[in-house]
Structures are given as C-alpha cells and as structure tokens.
Chains A and B, each alone.
Chain A
Amino acid sequence: QAVVTQEPSMTVSPGGTVTLTCGSSTGGVTSGQYPYWFQQKPGQAPRTLIYETSKKHTWTPARISGSLLGGKAALTLSGAQPEDEADYYCLLYYSGLWVFGGGTKLTVL
C-alpha cells in the first residue's frame, strides 16, 4: 500500500501564509490522484475543503487554495486566521483505493 506523507506540524503567524504539502511514496502526485484536503478541529468530524487538487466547496474560505507543487499536492492558507488552527489531512487515489496522509497539525501563533 502506498504511503502518503505530510508535515507533522507547522506554525504560521496570524495574517501570514503557509503551504502544507502531500507527497506519495509511489512518485509525484498527479491530478489523476484527485487530491482532497480536509480540516479537522478537536472533537469534530472532518470537513472537506478541497477536492480534485484545487476545487473548492461553497464553504471553503477564499484564503485557502489547493495546487500541485513540486510533485506534491499543496494546500496554501493566505492571511491565516486563528480559526484555521486545526489538523489538515490530504487524501489520494490509487487505482480504486484511497490513502490518507498522516495529517499536519497547524498552529496559528
């Protein structure tokens, strides 16, 4: 089974910009792996922010965007807000199966 890697933790200053990445043990992440990004706050269910690399749901803040960057999927938060402090998970598709990354704990400080 493929392994999906994310930074374990990152810190961003309020109003700052941070990019979280999502890599694959099988090689570069492609659009054909339909990268998803989810946000989870303590005690809550996950919430889907980004699907198919860069597409947003209606509730996804405009300051959050998805892309492919340097062979990885990337989630960029521009103008970080205190409410962005959460765990972020990516999800990648592998021929019928899906694999989550280990998650990134984002601190806004």
Chain B
Amino acid sequence: EVQLVESGGDLVQPGGSLRLSCAASGFSFSLYWMMWVRQAPGRGLEWLANINEDGTKTNYVDSVKGRFTISRDNAKNSLYLQMNSLGAEDTAVYYCAGGHKVDSWGQGTLVPVSS
C-alpha cells in the first residue's frame, strides 16, 4: 500500500523553528519528485517547495524562500521540511505529496504558531 505519513507538527512560538518529516512506503520513493503543500485554517492549498529524485534540485515559493528548507534521505525513504523564523502566517496543516504524478498524499500534520 502506497503511504505517506507526516510527523513533527507541534505548537511553536513566533520566531521558532520546527522540522517536519514524511515517511514514505509502498513505492519507489527515490524515483520521484516530492513536494510540501500547506493549508491554513479555512483556506486553500499553497504549494511550498519541491525536491528532485536525488535531492540536488529544490524550488520554493517566495513566501518561504530563505526560511524553509526541503530535503530528503532516500536511504530512509523520508522527506523533510526544516522551518525557521516561523510566524503566525505559517499556521497551517502541512502535507507531503508526490509519487507517480502526485498519486500520494499524506494525512497532514498541524503546525500552530502562537505565543
């Protein structure tokens, strides 16, 4: 069964940092681009970043460039999102997605940013 499972979501104070993880199983993780997407409460989906198969190419939306870093460990079938300098506007459910033509989505992990 193809599965993506995010973890690491937690309450964080403004200005703080957090690292999200996404564990992949049931497909050849190392063969596919992967991405992170978020959804603020009551809002639409926002594409954040993606990374190529071997981790050598990354792209970011302007709103997180310089603050967030996407990475992967193919030996561990895992995707990561390091988030720094978090603000209230970063409060959202964070999803990892990817696989063959984005056929897989995780269930999401909630990151509330509040003092």
A residues apposed to B, CB below 8 Å: 1, 36, 38, 40, 45-48, 51-52, 55, 57, 87, 89, 91, 96-103
Q: Give Cα A96 to B60, complex, Å.
A: 9
The answer to whether B47 touches A46, judged by C-beta atoms less than 8 angstroms apart, is no
The answer to whether B106 touches A45, judged by C-beta atoms less than 8 angstroms apart, is yes
The answer to whether B44 touches A89, judged by C-beta atoms less than 8 angstroms apart, is yes
Question: Residue A51 contacts which of B50, B101, B108 (CB distance < 8 angstroms)?
Answer: B101
The answer to whether A97 touches B45, judged by C-beta atoms less than 8 angstroms apart, is no
Instruction: State the Cβ distance, B37 to closest chain A Cβ, in Å.
Output: 8
The answer to whether B61 touches A1, judged by C-beta atoms less than 8 angstroms apart, is yes
The answer to whether B47 touches A57, judged by C-beta atoms less than 8 angstroms apart, is no
Interface centre among A45, A55, A102 (most CB of B within 10 A): A45
Question: Cβ of B59 < 8 Å from any Cβ of A?
Answer: yes
Q: A1-B62, A89-B45, A100-B47 are in contact. Are A45 and B103 (CB under 8 A)?
A: no
**Set of chain A residues within 8 Å of B108, measured between Cβ atoms:** 45
B residues apposed to A, CB below 8 Å: 35, 37, 44-47, 50, 59-62, 95, 97, 101-103, 105-108
Lowest 7 A-B CB distances belong to which pairs?
A51-B101, A103-B44, A98-B47, A45-B105, A100-B45, A96-B59, A48-B102
Summed over the interface, the residue pairs from A and B with CB atoms below 8 Å come to a total of 50
Question: Residue A91 contacts which of B47, B61, B106 (CB distance < 8 angstroms)?
Answer: B47
Q: Give Cα A100 to B44, complex, Å.
A: 8
Residue of A nearest to B6 (CB): A45
Q: Give Cα A23 to B106, complex, Å.
A: 27
Instruction: State the Cβ distance, A87 to closest chain B Cβ, in Å.
Output: 8
The answer to whether A57 touches B101, judged by C-beta atoms less than 8 angstroms apart, is yes
Task: List 7 A-B pairs, Cβ < 8 Å.
Answer: A36-B102, A46-B45, A46-B97, A46-B105, A87-B44, A91-B45, A103-B44
The answer to whether A45 touches B95, judged by C-beta atoms less than 8 angstroms apart, is yes
**Set of chain A residues within 8 Å of B37, measured between Cβ atoms:** 46, 100
